[in-house]
């Protein structure tokens, strides 16, 4: 059996686990998207189920809708945040770290604002939670939405602050968006995962806006 | 190559010889088993034959039970044979390799085909005996899609609440009774609903089971064909006294039923006037008006 | 070159990071966790009561759901803060990255009471945690059977009885989802795929530390009036209940979060951390089962959490999503719950089958039969399980037109389930079978699951379902599949892997006594219940027909004996680990699977000195000329490829 060992291909463990970590970031972020979709999926199911059942005509008898102004602001903030962040991330890839830092902090501000607006909206509803099926689903949806937005903002904040504090390490070798250093690659994988997750949520937000404010 | 190391009992030839014998044993045992199930156990299987739906359910259970021995014996015989025949004997090296094969396309193919055919057959069987006997006694919701042909069915509304059943009879002035009598040889439509939480109306000997949901009318059909007593039990957990939520009903002759019903109608006339109008569902009134039940209303109607 | 982990150990600079920090009682551990939990509960309960000042009838009355929820939520936060689990996320917020690699070299028994990042420690924590869960819920089952000794004479009051039923069911269902993934998925699978670590050790540790607190919260329901809605928690009954129902919501919800964390970790680990050469076609079937399990959990559990959340809102925020009188529907709960609830029961079956298919070839000295079929079976189960949930609602009155479809999908799922029998029968054919304790348990799974599977056909057939729905027949059916399937596999796996995990050998003689008593009394307990159900006894009742008394007494006495058999296991297991301590030989079962080729039992920190290169399929038991499973084999000199000690 010894000949097998001698033929052993050289395994670069550091490289192996570095790539495994990149793959885990890919899968972790995709799983987080799946979890977000299924978590909202249950509530969207509740929306359509109760809407189509319309028990005793009480789905939305008085067409009471949560503040459309705030709803539009939330959507605008989320979309704006996603777009600014995506553009920033693209600029990062072409080497301008500072663009993403600026874009990322703007996106962070907009996202936190969106989460805050959502909580604020919940405190000033023009209907009681039990007033209608719509009211119930909205009251169920809003906290989940704001929490998930803020969790994504936590993710973005950790990325931003990680880059700010480790700029010297990460930004060598032509910038964090280009560098072949493992730490920079790991950072990019993380950022890419976040971008996907946040963009996915922003696309879902359009659906939520239509469901809760337009229909 | 590894076959060389195998002793006789694990060779292909030895096992090839054994297979027909195993199949013969299987056929004989499953035949005996199935015949016993069909003829000896079959007539005694629940839920009896008090109604057409009960008899149908009995037939279904009997039929599926007859299919059980072949499957059971197939698995047992092949497992049993393997365990007896190929168990490590004293003195053998327990870690020596056994036969080296990773699959067998014929066996696998046959297995896929047979299980698929069996499963599709069972699904078709179930669908047929669900659709043809008008929903097989199960609750079909407010607008049943499989209904009996009879036009004039006896309407019995089952109202469940924590923790008892009452019955309303729209064809007898909308009276409400705490007992249930049914005429024999009659097609019956049960309209099951609840006033509070989810219950389940399970008339065991009638072969009827339907969840009693608040604000939902759940319809089930059956046709009585034998006299006797039946048990009604709640079959969805409904709180503390769920276990005590049962009563008995009787299938009686049509004349006796008429007599009972007219007598009850007269006896209950004063109470019937106070009851809310007969409806498929009722919602408790939080206005508290006499504790009655009223059609649901919009809590914000005044907004 | 190997990764140099030395930097990460013992620097202590990452103050408060798991494994770092100072010593003594204040070092994060279960003790500080409990202290944090108590402080959190007091604070949250006070906040909850001050929220509700306007509501005289509930405030400070012990029936204030908002105070109950706030108390528990703050307790959970305090618990995790005390455990030190929040240090890392908070450090991240300030960009203070913890050490690049997690220190997993902690020594001594105290590590089992800490938030640690070693997947092996987490696996052991899970094993004992799940056994505590199982024995607690088992005692509750005996309490149920005691009540059912007589149809009329009552041991418990009706509400105590129904609370016990609910606690038993919920606790068992919560625990069963983690019973294989937790101990064996976390411990063995990384070793099996030749990895030094898991993908997300913090998520993995978090997933374990959810379970003690969810256990405590759920059990605390018993002294707060319990919940009468059973593990299915049907609304509006569950909306109507007292504060005990909140413990159901939070306990179950936390367990859901735990499962999400655990499955995210195991999926990412299996996909990314396989050693070189461990291609998909060489992945042990246990890996395939864990992968299917992980994906199923990820896609179904958020819906359960949604359902519980909606129920919580109806109970606290005065929404009416589950009450049709105000525009909701009680069917909404049934749909949300069973959309999770049916994948759930396959979440229990899949890992059990994975263990069976993994362990049988070792004792048959043959390659696993139809390897690809078994993997396809797991994936098929995982996919189909999402399309069958309405079969719990055949009599509910919703959508009768969908019944034939759901009957079809439910019947179809028996095809992938049948694959596992094909695999077992094919593997035993012309094998060299050793009837060791683990093997007996695996064969026990086949014996029991056959009854569970065949009665599944009755339950899925809508016309028969009219008779058996909600009766003891259904109850016996799922005890056969869950206890007869996954719990037997779980105990078999304990006997199989204890030498690896502890370094001690378990007595075959005692193990066989446990097996034979367990399988006899298990069948003696649950087989008569099919008859009891067919004869008309509904589930969860405390009064039943006199004519069923003999059968019920038979079942209750068998249940006590089954309990005695499990107690026998508990005593002998602890005795052998704590007192007898007979060292095991290396690779006692002669397995070719990678986990047995570690340097020592229990495996050292970071599992392998260097990452192994996988050279062949792990199931080449039939070919004496097969390559060794990995290039690690001749470094562990006392083992040869087929594992003769």
Residue B131: its pLDDT value, please?
86
Segment 107-146 of chain A within 8 Å of chain B by CB: 127-128, 130-132
Whole-complex ipTM: 0.92
Interface test with A, best of B141, B214, B284, B303 (most A CBs within 10 A): B303
Residue B302 forms part of a structural domain: no
Domains annotated on chain C, with CATH: 14-100+110-115 (no CATH), 116-580 (1.20.210.10)
Nearest to C96 by CA among C35, C16, C27, C181: C16
Better-predicted residue by pLDDT, C498 or C624: C498
Residue B13: its pLDDT value, please?
83
Q: Residue C32, Cβ neighbours under 10 Å: how many?
A: 20
B57-76 in b/e form (b: 16+ CB < 10 A) is bbbbbbbbbbbbbbbbbbbb
Mean residue pLDDT across chain A:
89
Candidates B283, B297, B303; nearest CB to A62: B303
Residue B292 clears pLDDT 50, i.e. is over it: no
Better-predicted residue by pLDDT, C116 or B3: C116
The domain segmentation of chain A, as residue ranges, is 14-57+66-214
Residue B300 forms part of a structural domain: no
B158 in the same domain as B241: yes
Residue A61 clears pLDDT 90, i.e. is over it: no
B251 in the same domain as B186: yes
C365 contacts on B by Cβ (under 8 Å): 94-98
Residue B297: its pLDDT value, please?
54
Residue B170 forms part of a structural domain: yes
B191 in the same domain as B276: yes
Residue B93 forms part of a structural domain: no
Q: What is the DSSP string of C211-249?
A: HHHHHHHHHHGGGGT--SSTTTT-TTHHHHS-THHHHHH
Q: pLDDT (tens digit, 9 = 90+) per residue, C42-100?
A: 999 888 888 777 766 666 566 788 888 999 999 999 999 999 888 888 888 887 765 54
CATH number at residue B213: 2.60.40.420
Residue C627 clears pLDDT 90, i.e. is over it: no
Residue C626: its pLDDT value, please?
83
In angstroms, what separates the C-alpha of A58 from chain B's closest C-alpha? Answer: 7
Residue C97: its pLDDT value, please?
67
How many Å apart are CA C201 and CA A56, to the nearest integer? 50
B204 in the same domain as B112: no
Token digits of residue C325: 């009188």
A14-57+66-214 belongs to which CATH class?
A: mainly alpha
Task: Specify the residue for token string 């770290």.
Answer: A97
C96 contacts on A by Cβ (under 8 Å): 165
**Number of domains making up chain B:** 2
Q: pLDDT (tens digit, 9 = 90+) per residue, C560-593?
A: 999 999 999 999 999 999 999 999 988 899 898 9
CA distances from C452 to B116, C151, C305, C479 (A): 19, 27, 28, 8
Residue B155: its pLDDT value, please?
94
Residue B147 forms part of a structural domain: no
Residue B76, domain extent:
2-88+103-136
Residue B216 forms part of a structural domain: yes
B178 in the same domain as B107: no
Q: Average the pLDDT over B84-89 and give the result.
A: 89
Q: Average the pLDDT over C194-207 and give the result.
A: 92
Mean residue pLDDT across chain B:
87
A165 contacts on C by Cβ (under 8 Å): 95-96
Contact B120 C411 (CB under 8 A): yes
Residue B290 forms part of a structural domain: no
Residue C16 clears pLDDT 70, i.e. is over it: no
Residue B248: its pLDDT value, please?
93
Nearest to B29 by CA among B69, B88, B81, B75: B69
B158 in the same domain as B132: no
Interchain CB contacts (distance < 8 Å): A and C: 186
Residue A1 clears pLDDT 50, i.e. is over it: no
Residue C62: its pLDDT value, please?
67
How many Å apart are CA C256 and CA C303, to the nearest integer? 10
- In sign, the C-alpha dihedral spanning C44, C49, C50, C52 is positive
Residue B109 clears pLDDT 80, i.e. is over it: yes
Candidates C95, C199, C268; nearest CB to A164: C95
Q: pLDDT (tens digit, 9 = 90+) per residue, C262-318?
A: 999 999 999 999 999 899 999 999 999 999 999 999 999 999 999 999 999 998 888
Residue B163 clears pLDDT 50, i.e. is over it: yes
Q: Average the pLDDT over B2-28 and give the result.
A: 79
Segment 494-523 of chain C within 8 Å of chain A by CB: none
Q: H or E stretch including C465?
A: helix C462-468
Q: Average the pLDDT over B53-78 and give the result.
A: 93
At residue C23 the predicted structure's pLDDT band, cuts being 50, 70 and 90, is low
Percentage with pLDDT > 70 across chain C: 91
Residue B65 clears pLDDT 60, i.e. is over it: yes
Show which subunits contact C, needing at least 3 CB pairs below 8 angstroms: A, B
At residue C556 the predicted structure's pLDDT band, cuts being 50, 70 and 90, is very high
A130 contacts on B by Cβ (under 8 Å): 299
Residue A101: its pLDDT value, please?
92
Contact A1 C628 (CB under 8 A): yes
Residue C174 clears pLDDT 70, i.e. is over it: yes
At residue B290 the predicted structure's pLDDT band, cuts being 50, 70 and 90, is very low
A49 contacts on C by Cβ (under 8 Å): 329, 331-332, 335
Percentage with pLDDT > 90 across chain C: 58
Strands (E), B50-205: 154-161, 164-169, 175-177, 180-183, 187-194, 199-203
Candidates A46, A134, A139; nearest CB to C317: A139
Residue B146 forms part of a structural domain: no
Q: Average the pLDDT over C215-222 and give the result.
A: 92
Residue C482 clears pLDDT 70, i.e. is over it: yes
B257 in the same domain as B161: yes
C411-430 in b/e form (b: 16+ CB < 10 A) is bbbbbbbbbbbbbbbbbbbb
């Amino acid at each position: 059996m010894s000949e097998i060992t001698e033929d052993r291909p050289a395994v670069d463990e550091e490289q192996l686990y570095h790539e495994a970590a990149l793959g885990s970031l890919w899968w972790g972020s995709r799983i987080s998207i799946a979890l977000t979709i299924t978590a909202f999926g249950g509530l969207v199911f509740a929306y359509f189920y109760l809407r189509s059942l319309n028990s005793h005509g009480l789905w939305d008898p008085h067409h009471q809708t949560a503040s459309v102004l705030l709803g539009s602001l939330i959507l605008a903030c989320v979309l704006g945040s996603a777009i600014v962040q995506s553009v920033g991330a693209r600029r990062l890839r072409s080497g301008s770290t500072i663009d993403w830092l600026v874009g990322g902090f703007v996106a962070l501000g907009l996202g936190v604002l969106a989460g805050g607006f959502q909580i604020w909206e919940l405190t000033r509803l023009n209907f009681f939670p039990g007033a209608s099926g719509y009211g119930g689903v909205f009251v169920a949806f809003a906290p989940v939405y704001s929490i998930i937005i803020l969790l994504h903002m936590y993710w973005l904040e950790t990325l931003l602050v990680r880059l700010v504090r480790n700029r010297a390490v990460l930004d060598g070798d032509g910038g964090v968006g280009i560098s072949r250093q493992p730490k920079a690659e790991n950072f990019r994988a993380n950022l890419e995962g976040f971008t996907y997750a946040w963009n996915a949520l922003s696309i879902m937000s359009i659906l939520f806006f239509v469901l809760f404010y337009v229909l | 190559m590894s076959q060389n190391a195998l002793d006789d009992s694990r060779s292909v030839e030895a096992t090839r010889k054994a297979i027909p014998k195993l199949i013969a044993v299987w056929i004989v045992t499953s035949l005996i088993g199935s015949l016993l199930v069909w003829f000896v156990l079959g007539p005694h299987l629940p839920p009896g034959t008090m109604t057409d739906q009960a008899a149908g359910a009995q037939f279904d259970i009997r039929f599926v039970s007859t299919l059980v021995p072949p499957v059971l014996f197939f698995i047992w015989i092949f497992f049993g044979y393997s365990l007896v025949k190929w168990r490590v004997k004293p003195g053998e090296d327990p870690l020596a390799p056994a036969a080296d094969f990773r699959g067998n396309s014929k066996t696998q193919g046959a297995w896929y085909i047979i299980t698929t055919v069996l499963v599709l057959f069972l699904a078709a069987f179930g669908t047929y005996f669900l659709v043809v006997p008008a929903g097989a006694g199960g609750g079909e919701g407010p607008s049943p899609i499989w209904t009996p042909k009879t036009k004039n069915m006896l309407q019995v509304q089952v109202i469940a609440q924590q923790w008892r059943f009452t019955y309303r009879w729209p064809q007898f002035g909308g009276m409400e009774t705490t007992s249930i009598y049914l005429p024999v040889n009659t097609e019956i439509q049960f309209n099951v609903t609840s006033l509070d939480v989810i219950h389940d109306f399970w008339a065991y000997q009638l072969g009827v089971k339907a969840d009693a949901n608040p604000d939902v009318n759940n319809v089930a059909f059956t046709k009585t064909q034998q006299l006797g007593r039946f048990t009604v039990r709640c079959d969805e957990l409904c709180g503390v006294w769920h276990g005590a939520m049962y009563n008995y009903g009787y299938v009686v002759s049509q004349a006796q039923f008429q007599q009972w019903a007219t007598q009850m109608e007269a006896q209950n006339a004063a109470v019937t006037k106070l009851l809310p109008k007969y409806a498929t569902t009722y919602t408790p009134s939080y206005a508290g008006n006499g504790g009655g039940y009223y059609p649901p209303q919009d809590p914000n109607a005044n907004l | 070159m190997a990764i140099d982990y030395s930097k990460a150990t013992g620097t202590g600079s990452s103050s408060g990071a798991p494994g770092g920090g100072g010593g003594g009682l204040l070092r994060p551990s279960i003790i500080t966790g409990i202290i944090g939990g108590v402080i959190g509960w007091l604070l949250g309960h006070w906040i909850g009561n001050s929220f509700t000042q306007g509501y005289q009838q509930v405030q400070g009355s012990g029936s204030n759901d908002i105070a109950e929820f706030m108390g528990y939520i703050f307790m959970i936060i305090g618990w995790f803060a005390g455990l030190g689990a929040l240090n890392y996320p908070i450090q991240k917020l300030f960009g203070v990255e913890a050490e690049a690699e997690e220190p997993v070299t902690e020594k001594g028994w105290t590590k089992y009471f800490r938030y640690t990042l070693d997947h092996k420690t987490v696996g052991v924590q899970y094993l004992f945690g799940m056994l505590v869960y199982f024995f607690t819920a088992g005692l509750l089952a005996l309490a149920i059977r005691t009540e059912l000794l007589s149809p009329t004479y009552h041991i418990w009051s009706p509400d105590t009885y129904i609370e016990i039923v609910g606690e038993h069911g919920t606790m068992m269902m919560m625990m069963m989802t983690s019973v294989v993934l937790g101990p064996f998925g976390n411990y063995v699978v990384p070793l099996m795929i030749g990895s030094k670590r898991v993908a997300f050790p913090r998520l993995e540790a978090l997933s374990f530390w959810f379970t003690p607190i969810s256990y405590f919260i759920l059990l605390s329901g018993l002294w707060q009036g319990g919940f009468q809605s059973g593990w299915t928690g049907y609304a509006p009954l569950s909306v109507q209940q007292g504060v005990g129902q909140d413990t159901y919501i939070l306990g179950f919800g936390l367990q859901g979060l735990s499962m999400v964390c655990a499955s995210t970790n195991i999926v990412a680990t299996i996909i990314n951390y396989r050693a070189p050469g461990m291609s998909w076609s060489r992945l042990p079937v246990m890996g395939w089962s864990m992968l299917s399990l992980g994906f199923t959990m990820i896609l179904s559990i958020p819906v359960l959490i949604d359902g519980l959340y909606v129920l919580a809102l109806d109970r606290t925020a005065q929404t009416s999503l589950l009450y049709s009188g105000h525009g909701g529907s009680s069917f909404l709960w049934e749909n949300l719950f069973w959309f999770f609830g049916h994948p759930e029961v396959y979440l229990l079956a899949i890992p059990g089958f994975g263990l069976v298919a993994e362990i049988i070839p070792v004792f048959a000295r043959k390659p696993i039969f139809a390897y690809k079929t078994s993997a396809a079976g797991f994936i098929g189960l995982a996919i189909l399980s999402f399309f069958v949930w309405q079969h719990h609602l055949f009599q509910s009155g919703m959508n009768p037109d969908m019944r034939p479809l759901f009957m079809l999908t439910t019947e179809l799922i028996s095809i992938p389930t049948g694959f596992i029998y094909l695999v077992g029968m094919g593997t035993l054919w012309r094998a060299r079978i050793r009837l060791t304790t683990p093997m007996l348990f695996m064969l026990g799974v086949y014996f029991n699951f056959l009854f569970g599977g065949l009665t599944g056909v009755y339950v899925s057939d809508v016309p028969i379902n009219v008779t058996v729905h909600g009766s003891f027949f259904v109850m016996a059916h799922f005890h056969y599949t869950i206890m007869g399937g996954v719990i037997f596999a779980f105990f078999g796996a304990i006997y199989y892997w204890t030498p690896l995990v502890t370094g001690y050998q378990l007595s075959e003689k005692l193990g066989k006594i446990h097996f034979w008593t367990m399988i006899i009394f298990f069948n003696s307990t649950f087989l008569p219940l099919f008859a009891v159900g067919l004869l008309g006894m509904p589930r969860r009742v405390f009064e039943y027909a006199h004519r069923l008394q003999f059968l019920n007494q038979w079942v209750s006495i068998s249940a006590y004996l089954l309990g005695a058999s499990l107690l026998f296991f508990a005593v002998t297991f602890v005795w052998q680990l704590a007192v007898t301590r007979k060292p095991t030989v290396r690779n006692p079962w002669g397995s070719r699977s990678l986990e047995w080729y570690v340097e020592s039992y229990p495996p050292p920190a970071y599992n392998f000195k260097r990452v192994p290169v996988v050279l062949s399929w792990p199931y080449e038991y039939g070919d004496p000329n097969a390559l060794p499973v990995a290039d690690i084999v001749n470094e562990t000199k006392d083992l040869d490829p087929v594992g003769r000690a």
